[in-house]
Structure 1
């Protein structure tokens, strides 16, 4: 799926009232962070987890300038624990958790540790 399509699809899911579900990766059940990324970018099952998705590109640490459509990660290079999709300008779309759900957030709310261009 093209970068713009992935971002558009993620925003539609965030605005469509689909809920957060740990381990979820479908429109019918809901999504967790890596399930959302896998779904909107059409990734194979080889890239289902945050750790697997972090291997899709070179890691960059200038997260404040992460380009539109890039994947943002929280945690270390060897142990990332959360992924989101950059909207540029310090905002991102993510399946955060069962309390905050799936939505658009800013890096002032939670700052990622690195990103990859995908």
Structure 2
């Protein structure tokens, strides 16, 4: 046996003729088909071109990102501004409410103080009127007793003044009237004192400034009574004794005789 009888051959085994023929046939068929397709295609057919998708570049991505970041920053700033404004409005509302509450409390305090002051003034006025009425009532009682005893009977000039004043009872009241059948308060007093030869000023405030001031508890017939202040009186009448006076009151009553406590005078003056 030769030495190479067991060494395997490295040659590729030959293909059989049948396999080669089969492959040649297949290849021929393929080429034929291609040739037929090429012949059947239109002569002016456009070549097929491939389309590609364009991908965004890095530059456009950066621009979009920057725009998004800017929009986000603006939104954040706007939100912060809105929150700041809301906080300021809330603070302003709280301050306004506190100021309104404080102002209301101050107004209530002032109103209460005014009510208290008014109540005190009214109480003082009532007390003053009560004291005046009490004094006049005592004066009236004293005058009545004196009349009974003859101690307050008008004489001389006082008698002429009182008689004239009483004679006008029932006459009309006319503002500015000086008689003989209509009078105002100072016109009647002036005319009555003229009967005693005394010329008094025309207006009530000047008449009450004449003579000397006397107490309402020490009145004598012929004294001039006044209402208001002595130098600023707004009404005058004549004391006729017995706790009564005669005066031209107003258009509704005319010249009347009244008790002192019907409308208590503020004071009196003695001119005789």
The correspondence of residues 88-99 of structure 1 with structure 2, limited to 5 A, is: 88-99=241-252
Q: Which runs of 5+ in 2 are unaligned?
A: 1-155
Matched, 1:35 2:190: no
* Structure 1 segments unaligned to the other structure (5+ residues): none
* Matched pairs, number: 113
Q: Which has the higher strand share?
A: 1
Q: TM-score, normalised by structure 2?
A: 0.39
For the aligned residue pairs, the C-alpha RMSD in angstroms reads 1.7
3-state secondary structure, aligned to 1:47: coil
What is the CA distance between 1:10 and its match in structure 2? Answer: 0.7
Query: Would you say 1:87 and 2:240 are equivalent positions?
Result: yes
- Which one has a bigger Cα radius of gyration? 2
Give the deviation of 1:108 after TM superposition: 1.5
Matches within 5 A, 1:1-118: 2-14=157-169, 17-28=170-181, 30-42=182-194, 43-44=198-199, 47-60=201-214, 62-118=215-271
Answer whether contact 2:206 2:231 (CA < 8 A) is retained.
no
Encode CA deviations 1:71-116: one digit per residue, 9 max, x unaligned: 0011012311111100223210000001111010011210011111
The answer to which structure has the higher helix fraction is: 2
Tell me the SS of whatever aligns to 1:55: coil
Normalized against structure 1, the TM-score is what?
0.87
